[in-house]
DNA sequence: ACAATCTTCGCAAGCAAATTGCGCCGAAGT
DNA sequence: ACTTCGGCGCAATTTGCTTGCGAAGATTGT
């Protein structure tokens, strides 16, 4: 899909505020409400806009700390990986999970209240997944930047 | 702030669909529209709901690949870190940046069209930031899970 | 145990915003 | 120069948001 300048302005605005009123959005991008809304619907149908979500403040719901954990599996065959992926999908504390090229086999991003809660999670859930050989956790001490806004 | 069961249902729903109509949300959580909207506003004012955003499909805007890069700095003094943070903040391709405890000094998450585009970005931008001594990139080959939904 | 108070609900009316159809204008192609 | 097509703006309709108010249930203090 081809995105012109107005489309990009719409996407930038909706990435900042996904609940912005269409009238305000229209004014910001230099259109009247109707063609503006039409473009938004087209962007949704084309899948450029995947979904709208509410972002919660992790600290306010007792999930203030993020942890990155690199994982090494005992083997890299399909069964081992499938099983690992299925188990990880069940854990709501795991927000992201990637299979990796190179050094480690997988990487997960976990949220928890603090490092003690995380250690418990790691030993009781992550390490117990069949096929997991070793894990190494990287702990952020400070967040410099955290956004979901794609560059356009 | 204390969250009862209805609040949690509201948060779960809005994390799935941040643009859900209040009428539908009310029906889903078992309230009429007015108290439901009141609760949503309270959750927003309390900062539990931080913001609403549109999530774009990275592949559809030429940012289909994610890269995790661990960074080692030449020094860990405040000036070096401040400067690094300021430079990273300017780079829209960097969606996340954390200072780390332990092994590396910082970790960034970068989006790019593909690995070639990323390599260019790394050598032209990341590595040129003053104070950056070494970088090591972890490349996801497959995304198993990727969500912004906090466990409640 | 009873009364006062506080909280949170549902209802209903008024209001604002989203949505749709239609005519118009400009760009591109013949 | 004429035709066609795409995209805009206007206006009417519908839909959903918003707010004030009275009632019901829970809680606290006497």
Q: Mind listing the pLDDT tens digit for each residue in B78-110?
A: 999 999 999 999 999 999 999 999 889 999 999
Cβ contacts of A139 on chain B, cutoff 8 Å: 100-102
Domains of chain A, residue spans: 5-45, 58-138
Cβ contacts of A146 on chain B, cutoff 8 Å: 95-97
- Interchain contact, B89 vs A152, CB within 8 Å: no
Beta carbons of A55 and B147 less than 8 angstroms apart = no
DSSP codes joined into one string, A7-58: HHHHHHHHHH-TT--HHHHHHHHTS-HHHHHHHHHHHHHTTSEEEEEEEE-G
Average pLDDT value for residue range A3-8: 95
At residue B1 the predicted structure's pLDDT band, cuts being 50, 70 and 90, is confident
Q: What is the mean pLDDT of chain B?
A: 96
Q: Check whether A84 has a pLDDT greater than 90.
A: yes
Count of CB atoms situated within 10 Å of the CB of A40: 20
Q: Name the nucleotide with the smallest C1'–CA separation from A35.
A: D8
Q: What is the mean pLDDT of chain A?
A: 96
- In chain A, residues 48 through 77 whose Cβ sits under 7 angstroms from any atom of nucleic acid strand C: none
- Give dist(CA B34, CA B24) in Å, integer: 12
Q: Check whether B128 has a pLDDT greater than 90.
A: yes
Does the A58-138 domain belong in CATH 2.60.120.260?
A: no
Q: Mind listing the pLDDT tens digit for each residue in A8-45?
A: 999 999 999 999 999 999 999 999 999 999 999 999 99
**Cβ-based contacts with strand D at under 7 Å:** A 6, 31-35, 38-39; B 21-23, 33-34, 37-38
Cβ contacts of A86 on chain B, cutoff 8 Å: none
Q: How close does chain B come to A34, measured CA to CA in Å?
A: 19
Q: What pLDDT is stored for residue A1 in this prediction?
A: 81
Q: How close does chain A come to B74, measured CA to CA in Å?
A: 18
Q: Check whether B2 has a pLDDT greater than 90.
A: no
Cα B141 from chain centre: 20
Nearest Cβ partner of B89 from A54, A55, A145? Answer: A145
Q: Which residues share a beta bridge with A49?
A: B56
The two three-digit tokens of residue A86, written as one number: 């299925």
Beta carbons of A126 and A69 less than 8 angstroms apart = yes
- Give dist(CA A111, CA B148) in Å, integer: 11
Residue A39 neighbours by CB under 8 Å, 6+ apart: A6, A7, A10, A31
* Residue of chain B minimizing CA distance to A85: B144
Give me Rg for the CA atoms of chain A: 20
Whole-number percent of chain B with pLDDT over 70: 100
At residue A81 the predicted structure's pLDDT band, cuts being 50, 70 and 90, is very high
Q: Check whether A80 has a pLDDT greater than 90.
A: yes
Q: What pLDDT is stored for residue B56 in this prediction?
A: 97
Does the B5-45 domain belong in CATH 1.10.260.40?
A: no
Average pLDDT value for residue range A53-79: 96
| Sign of CA pseudo-dihedral A27, A33, A39, A45 | positive
Q: Mind listing the pLDDT tens digit for each residue in A100-141?
A: 998 899 999 999 999 999 999 999 999 999 999 999 999 999
Q: Check whether A98 has a pLDDT greater than 90.
A: yes
Total beta-carbon pairs less than 8 A apart between chain A and chain B: 210
In terms of C-beta distances under 8 Å and separation of at least 24 residues, what long-range contacts does B73-78 make, across chains too? B73/B105, B73/B106, B73/B131, B73/B132, B73/B133, B74/B131, B74/B132, B74/B133, B75/B131, B76/B105
- Is there contact between B33 and strand C, defined as CB under 7 Å from any strand atom? yes
Q: Check whether A2 has a pLDDT greater than 90.
A: no
Q: Check whether B29 has a pLDDT greater than 90.
A: yes
CA of B38 to C1' of C10 (A): 13
Rounded (to 5) percent helix, strand, coil in chain A: 40, 30, 30
Q: Check whether B57 has a pLDDT greater than 90.
A: yes
Q: Check whether B36 has a pLDDT greater than 90.
A: yes
- Is there contact between A34 and strand C, defined as CB under 7 Å from any strand atom? yes
């Amino acid at each position: 899909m081809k995105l012109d300048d107005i489309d990009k302005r719409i996407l930038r605005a909706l990435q900042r505020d996904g609940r912005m009123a269409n009238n305000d959005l229209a004014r910001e991008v230099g259109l009247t409400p109707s063609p503006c809304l039409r473009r938004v619907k087209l962007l949704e149908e084309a899948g450029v806009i995947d979904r709208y979500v509410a972002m919660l403040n992790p600290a306010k719901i007792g999930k203030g700390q993020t942890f990155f954990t690199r994982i090494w599996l005992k083997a890299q065959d399909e069964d081992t990986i499938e099983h690992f992926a299925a188990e990880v999908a069940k854990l709501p504390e795991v927000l992201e999970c990637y299979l990796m090229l190179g050094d480690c086999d997988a990487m997960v991003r976990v949220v928890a209240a603090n490092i003690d809660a995380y250690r418990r999670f790691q030993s009781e859930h992550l390490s117990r997944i069949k096929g997991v050989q070793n894990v190494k956790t990287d702990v952020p001490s400070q967040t410099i930047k955290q956004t979901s806004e794609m560059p356009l």
